[in-house]
A and B are shown apart, each in its own frame.
Chain A
Amino acid sequence: MSRIFDLVMLALLISVALAVVRCRDLVAAAILFSGYSLVLCLLWQYRGAPDVAMTEAAVGAGVTTVLVLLAVSRTSRRER
């Protein structure tokens, strides 16, 4: 069970990471990156590191997304 969970989560992690890189819409990329942090947060928690999981959820999924969206809003939305 633990192995299946690990594999599913890691597969999800890698596919979200690839989606972030391939996505041309920067707002969508920021949201996907937030999803990446969320998956990683679950993985940390599952691996017995609740402190790291909380930091990942608050900083990775929350604050970083806001700062990236803010930076995108001050430039252009599409990657050229």
Chain B
Amino acid sequence: MNRLLASLATAAVGIPMLAGVAQLPRVGAPGAPVHTHVAAQYLAGSPDATGAENVVTGVLLNYRAFDTFGEVMIIFAALAAVLAVLSPVAEAIGMPKDQPSGTEHARHRRAPPVSPIVAFVLRLTAPFIIAFAVWMMLKGHLTPGGGFQGGAMIGALLILLSIMLERDNLWPRVPERLVRGLQAAAPLAFGVVALVGVGLTGAVLALPASPAGHGLRELMMLTLEAGIGIGGAAIILGLFLAIRGD
């Protein structure tokens, strides 16, 4: 009975959706609505209007900066939700949170040893990964990539490093206040750029026009990219540590 109901529900949702997909215009068709509105203008004007050779970055950080701001807030809210849900639980079931010796004891008991091969490869590749991620973050307006991608890469590397370094008690004790600040880096960067934009051009998140404000415009984009990247990395690590129960 349940299976029948599930099949019916799936068909009821799936058939209209497939019918809708079948009516979509072909990928790349010149008459499709996505290509007839602002797309041509963006493609032609992006390098001049936004200072970003990479049109994707131009759209993300300039034409659609409000949308990007919303995305950044969603990621931030996800971390806030995880922390809000998991932290009281960790305290309520009596995890030894404020006793350093107890915490380390529990961690050593729980964690299996890291394979020497993994540790060696991580040591070898970590500097290259960091360099590539930072390059991607700061060059996002010229080449594919940007703050999100670079930040996710750094976040993943930080997770690996935290697993390995904690084993040898090398993981630095970062002050809580600094951690929270880094996790809020992206909204903060957007706030700074928005205020500067209001001050210079009178519009929120607007960048100054090309010839006069060229350097400043580049600086504002770099601020956004760096904020998104640092905030993203800190949030990814924060999610990992929160779910693991630190």
Residues of A within 8 A of B (CB): 50-51, 54-55, 58-59, 62-63, 66-67, 70-71, 74
Q: Is the CB of A63 within 8 A of B236?
A: yes
Q: Is the CB of B156 within 8 A of A63?
A: yes
**B244 close to chain A: CB less than 8 A:** yes
Q: Hey, which chain B residues are within 8 Å of A70, CB to CB?
A: 240, 243-244
- Chain A nearest Cβ from B17, distance in angstroms: 16
Contact with A along B211-244 (1 / 0, CB 8 A): 0000000000000000000000000100110011
Q: Give chain B's interface residue range (CB within 8 Å of chain A).
A: 20 to 34
In the bound complex, what is the Cα–Cα distance between A36 and B145 (angstroms)? 21
Known: A51-B56, A51-B146. A58 touches B152 (CB 8 A): yes
Q: Hey, which chain A residues are within 8 Å of B155, CB to CB?
A: 63
CB < 8 Å neighbour of A71 from B136, B152, B243: B243
- Chain A nearest Cβ from B20, distance in angstroms: 19
Interface SS of chain B: helix
Q: Is the CB of A59 within 8 A of B152?
A: yes
Residues of B within 8 A of A (CB): 54, 56-57, 136, 144-146, 148-149, 152-153, 155-156, 159, 236, 239-240, 243-245
Q: Hey, which chain B residues are within 8 Å of A62, CB to CB?
A: 152-153, 156
Q: Is the CB of B243 within 8 A of A58?
A: no
Considering the complex, give the chain A residue whose CB is closest to the CB of B156. Answer: A62
Q: Is the CB of A55 within 8 A of B243?
A: no
Considering the complex, give the chain B residue whose CB is closest to the CB of A59. Answer: B152
Considering the complex, give the chain A residue whose CB is closest to the CB of B136. Answer: A54
A51-B57, A58-B156 known; 19 new pairs, CB 8 Å cut-off, are A51-B54, A51-B144, A51-B146, A54-B136, A54-B149, A55-B148, A58-B153, A59-B152, A62-B152, A62-B156, A63-B152, A63-B156, A63-B159, A66-B156, A67-B239, A67-B243, A70-B240, A71-B243, A74-B243
In the bound complex, what is the Cα–Cα distance between A1 and B126 (angstroms)? 37
- Chain A nearest Cβ from B201, distance in angstroms: 27
Q: Is the CB of A51 within 8 A of B240?
A: no
In the bound complex, what is the Cα–Cα distance between A16 and B206 (angstroms)? 44
Task: List 23 contacting pairs A-B, 8 Å CB cutoff, sorted by A.
Answer: A50-B145, A51-B54, A51-B144, A54-B136, A54-B149, A55-B149, A55-B152, A58-B149, A58-B156, A62-B152, A62-B153, A63-B152, A63-B156, A63-B236, A66-B156, A66-B159, A66-B240, A67-B239, A67-B240, A67-B243, A70-B240, A70-B244, A71-B243
- Chain A nearest Cβ from B154, distance in angstroms: 9
Q: Is the CB of B144 within 8 A of A50?
A: yes
